[in-house]
Amino acid sequence: MEFYSLSKAYLEHKYEEIRNRMTAAVMQLSESQLNWRPGEGDNSIANLIVHIEGNALQRISAGIFGETDIRDREAEFDMVYRTKTELLGSIGRTFDLLSEALNKLAPEEWLRTMQVRGRDTTVFDVLNQCASHFSEHLGQILYLAKLQLKDDYVTTSVPRVKRTDPV
Protein backbone atom coordinates (compact mmCIF):
# COMPACT_ATOMS: atom_id res chain seq x y z
CA MET A 1 0.00 0.00 0.00
CA GLU A 2 2.89 2.37 0.73
CA PHE A 3 4.23 1.81 -2.83
CA TYR A 4 0.81 2.74 -4.21
CA SER A 5 0.58 5.90 -2.09
CA LEU A 6 4.08 7.03 -3.03
CA SER A 7 3.54 6.26 -6.71
CA LYS A 8 0.20 8.04 -6.78
CA ALA A 9 1.64 11.11 -5.04
CA TYR A 10 4.59 11.16 -7.45
CA LEU A 11 2.34 10.94 -10.52
CA GLU A 12 -0.03 13.61 -9.18
CA HIS A 13 2.95 15.93 -8.70
CA LYS A 14 4.47 15.08 -12.09
CA TYR A 15 1.23 15.56 -14.02
CA GLU A 16 0.60 18.89 -12.25
CA GLU A 17 4.14 20.05 -13.01
CA ILE A 18 3.79 19.19 -16.71
CA ARG A 19 0.37 20.87 -16.86
CA ASN A 20 1.60 24.06 -15.17
CA ARG A 21 4.72 24.39 -17.29
CA MET A 22 2.85 23.68 -20.52
CA THR A 23 0.19 26.24 -19.59
CA ALA A 24 2.85 28.82 -18.67
CA ALA A 25 4.55 28.38 -22.05
CA VAL A 26 1.26 28.64 -23.97
CA MET A 27 0.32 31.81 -22.10
CA GLN A 28 3.49 33.55 -23.33
CA LEU A 29 2.75 32.96 -27.01
CA SER A 30 0.44 34.43 -29.63
CA GLU A 31 -1.86 32.18 -31.63
CA SER A 32 0.38 32.44 -34.67
CA GLN A 33 3.37 31.38 -32.54
CA LEU A 34 1.40 28.44 -31.11
CA ASN A 35 0.63 27.25 -34.64
CA TRP A 36 4.08 27.98 -36.14
CA ARG A 37 6.17 25.12 -37.50
CA PRO A 38 9.94 25.53 -37.77
CA GLY A 39 9.97 23.46 -40.97
CA GLU A 40 7.64 21.63 -43.33
CA GLY A 41 7.94 18.26 -41.56
CA ASP A 42 8.02 19.68 -38.05
CA ASN A 43 5.29 19.96 -35.45
CA SER A 44 3.84 23.11 -34.00
CA ILE A 45 3.05 23.54 -30.34
CA ALA A 46 -0.60 23.14 -31.34
CA ASN A 47 0.17 19.76 -32.95
CA LEU A 48 2.01 18.59 -29.86
CA ILE A 49 -0.82 19.55 -27.51
CA VAL A 50 -3.42 17.90 -29.77
CA HIS A 51 -1.21 14.78 -29.89
CA ILE A 52 -0.84 14.69 -26.08
CA GLU A 53 -4.62 14.88 -25.66
CA GLY A 54 -5.12 12.12 -28.25
CA ASN A 55 -2.59 9.92 -26.50
CA ALA A 56 -4.29 10.44 -23.12
CA LEU A 57 -7.69 9.64 -24.60
CA GLN A 58 -6.39 6.46 -26.19
CA ARG A 59 -4.40 5.23 -23.21
CA ILE A 60 -6.68 6.30 -20.36
CA SER A 61 -10.25 6.59 -21.70
CA ALA A 62 -10.07 3.73 -24.19
CA GLY A 63 -7.28 1.63 -22.70
CA ILE A 64 -7.86 1.81 -18.96
CA PHE A 65 -11.55 2.70 -18.77
CA GLY A 66 -12.63 0.69 -21.86
CA GLU A 67 -14.42 3.51 -23.66
CA THR A 68 -14.60 3.62 -27.45
CA ASP A 69 -11.29 4.59 -29.04
CA ILE A 70 -11.99 7.52 -31.36
CA ARG A 71 -8.40 8.67 -31.84
CA ASP A 72 -7.12 9.57 -35.30
CA ARG A 73 -3.38 9.73 -34.55
CA GLU A 74 -2.32 10.76 -38.05
CA ALA A 75 -4.66 13.78 -38.02
CA GLU A 76 -2.90 15.07 -34.91
CA PHE A 77 0.13 15.86 -37.08
CA ASP A 78 -1.70 17.47 -40.00
CA MET A 79 -1.57 21.23 -40.40
CA VAL A 80 -3.87 22.13 -37.54
CA TYR A 81 -4.78 25.59 -36.32
CA ARG A 82 -5.94 25.96 -32.73
CA THR A 83 -6.67 29.07 -30.75
CA LYS A 84 -4.95 29.67 -27.44
CA THR A 85 -8.30 29.06 -25.72
CA GLU A 86 -8.70 25.71 -27.50
CA LEU A 87 -5.18 24.65 -26.55
CA LEU A 88 -5.65 25.62 -22.91
CA GLY A 89 -8.91 23.61 -22.95
CA SER A 90 -7.07 20.64 -24.42
CA ILE A 91 -4.40 20.84 -21.70
CA GLY A 92 -7.13 21.05 -19.06
CA ARG A 93 -9.04 18.05 -20.42
CA THR A 94 -5.87 15.97 -20.71
CA PHE A 95 -4.67 16.52 -17.18
CA ASP A 96 -8.15 16.35 -15.69
CA LEU A 97 -8.45 12.90 -17.29
CA LEU A 98 -5.12 11.83 -15.79
CA SER A 99 -6.18 13.12 -12.39
CA GLU A 100 -9.49 11.28 -12.71
CA ALA A 101 -7.64 8.05 -13.47
CA LEU A 102 -5.41 8.45 -10.42
CA ASN A 103 -8.39 9.13 -8.17
CA LYS A 104 -10.73 6.52 -9.65
CA LEU A 105 -8.43 3.52 -9.85
CA ALA A 106 -8.16 1.30 -6.79
CA PRO A 107 -4.63 0.15 -5.86
CA GLU A 108 -5.25 -3.40 -7.13
CA GLU A 109 -6.29 -2.04 -10.54
CA TRP A 110 -2.80 -0.65 -11.09
CA LEU A 111 -1.56 -4.21 -11.67
CA ARG A 112 -4.25 -5.07 -14.22
CA THR A 113 -2.80 -5.75 -17.68
CA MET A 114 -4.00 -4.28 -20.93
CA GLN A 115 -2.80 -4.39 -24.51
CA VAL A 116 -0.68 -1.49 -25.73
CA ARG A 117 0.75 -1.90 -29.23
CA GLY A 118 0.30 -5.66 -29.02
CA ARG A 119 2.04 -6.06 -25.66
CA ASP A 120 0.68 -6.73 -22.20
CA THR A 121 1.23 -3.63 -20.10
CA THR A 122 0.05 -2.86 -16.58
CA VAL A 123 -2.11 0.15 -15.80
CA PHE A 124 0.78 1.33 -13.58
CA ASP A 125 3.11 1.25 -16.59
CA VAL A 126 0.61 3.17 -18.72
CA LEU A 127 0.30 5.91 -16.09
CA ASN A 128 4.11 6.18 -15.90
CA GLN A 129 4.47 6.11 -19.68
CA CYS A 130 2.07 9.06 -19.90
CA ALA A 131 4.29 11.06 -17.52
CA SER A 132 7.39 10.17 -19.53
CA HIS A 133 5.84 10.71 -22.96
CA PHE A 134 4.26 14.03 -21.99
CA SER A 135 7.54 15.20 -20.43
CA GLU A 136 9.28 14.59 -23.76
CA HIS A 137 6.69 16.67 -25.60
CA LEU A 138 6.83 19.35 -22.90
CA GLY A 139 10.52 19.71 -23.72
CA GLN A 140 9.66 20.22 -27.39
CA ILE A 141 6.99 22.78 -26.50
CA LEU A 142 9.40 24.71 -24.27
CA TYR A 143 12.08 24.64 -26.95
CA LEU A 144 9.67 25.96 -29.60
CA ALA A 145 8.53 28.71 -27.22
CA LYS A 146 12.13 29.70 -26.42
CA LEU A 147 13.09 29.58 -30.09
CA GLN A 148 10.38 32.08 -30.95
CA LEU A 149 10.46 34.36 -27.92
CA LYS A 150 14.26 34.44 -27.55
CA ASP A 151 15.15 36.83 -24.70
CA ASP A 152 11.46 37.47 -23.93
CA TYR A 153 10.94 33.84 -22.92
CA VAL A 154 10.17 33.43 -19.23
CA THR A 155 11.38 30.12 -17.83
CA THR A 156 8.71 27.77 -16.52
CA SER A 157 11.00 25.70 -14.31
CA VAL A 158 11.99 28.23 -11.65
CA PRO A 159 9.19 29.90 -9.72
CA ARG A 160 9.37 33.66 -9.87
CA VAL A 161 10.01 35.11 -6.44
CA LYS A 162 9.53 38.78 -5.82
CA ARG A 163 12.64 40.15 -4.21
CA THR A 164 11.81 42.37 -1.24
CA ASP A 165 15.18 42.77 0.43
CA PRO A 166 17.62 45.43 -0.79
CA VAL A 167 20.28 44.31 -3.22
Supply the CATH number for residue 23's domain.
Answer: 1.20.120.450
Phi and psi angles of residue 20, each rounded to the nearest 5 degrees, phi first: -65, -45
pLDDT at residue 161 is higher than 70: no
> Residue 26 contacts by C-beta under 8 Å, 6 or more apart in sequence?
34, 45, 49, 84, 87, 88, 91, 141
User: How far is 16 from 96, CA to CA, in rounded Å?
Assistant: 10
For residue 56, being part of any structural domain is answered with yes
For residue 163, being part of any structural domain is answered with no
Do residues 44 and 37 touch, judged by C-beta distance below 8 A? Answer: yes
For residue 165, being part of any structural domain is answered with no
Q: Once rounded to an integer, what is the mean pLDDT over residues 38-61?
A: 94
* DSSP letter assigned to residue 63: I
> Residue 77's pLDDT is what?
67
For residue 82, being part of any structural domain is answered with yes
For residue 161, being part of any structural domain is answered with no
Domains in the chain, number: 1
pLDDT at residue 160 is higher than 70: no
> Residue 41 contacts by C-beta under 8 Å, 6 or more apart in sequence?
none
CB count in 10 Å sphere of residue 25 = 23
159 against 98, higher pLDDT: 98
pLDDT band at 118 (very low <50, low <70, confident <90, very high): confident
For residue 39, being part of any structural domain is answered with yes
For residue 164, being part of any structural domain is answered with no
For residue 158, being part of any structural domain is answered with no
pTM, to two decimals: 0.90
**Nearest to 33, CA basis, from 77, 92, 78, 83:** 83
**Nearest to 92, CA basis, from 141, 26, 10:** 26
* pLDDT-above-90 percentage for the chain: 77
> Residue 3's pLDDT is what?
85
- Domain containing 86 equals 2-152
